[in-house]
Amino acid sequence: MDASPHAADPVTGLVAELRRAGATLAAAESLTGGQVCAAVTAVPGASQVFLGGVVAYASRVKVDVLGVPADVVERHGVVSSQCAVAMAAGVRDLLGATHGVATTGVAGPDEQEGKKVGTVHVAVASPDAVVSQALSLEGSRAEIQRASVDAAVRLLAGILRREEPAVG
């Protein structure tokens, strides 16, 4: 079996859940460099739920465009849960989305801010909650990036399942 369609299933499910909820999504990405946006927009019908994204590779873009407080970058670094949370909230506000998702971390080949390759933080900002998840990943740069995308999708899907109203 080809791994590509299987890998897209969680994203397809996420788009369907967003559509059912009448919700929208925006993404702020650092180490994934647009791969969250690409995964979501590869799904037919994504235009009904996906508003857009910001690839904020440079710290100044995180601060100037996404509104990450400079003191968060100075005190915690860009490879931190605090930065991921601020990025998710910032892109949600910037684009007027129901949910904002963010990825930040170290894909390699070198350490960043004294943090080893594979140190990743993903976050989701939703109307009722802001959550983050720290990851310690292994593998190649591409494998770390793909696992980061998958983690961000799973984190948001979990939030959507908890927020979905009861049917009846």
Tell me the backbone φ, ψ of residue 93, rounded to 5 degrees.
Answer: -70, -45
Q: Tell me the C-alpha to C-alpha distance, in Å, between residue 107 and each of 7, 40, 52, 74, 152.
A: 20, 21, 23, 21, 15
Q: Which domains does the chain have, with CATH numbers?
A: 3-163 (3.90.950.20)
119, containing H or E segment:
strand 119-125
Question: pLDDT tens, 8-62?
Answer: 489 999 999 999 999 999 999 999 999 999 999 999 999 999 999 999 999 999 9
Per the prediction, the chain carries an average pLDDT of 93
Of the chain, the percentage scoring pLDDT greater than 90 comes to 89
Q: Please state, in angstroms and rounded to a whole number, the distance separating the CA atoms of residues 8 and 11.
A: 5
pTM over 0.75: yes
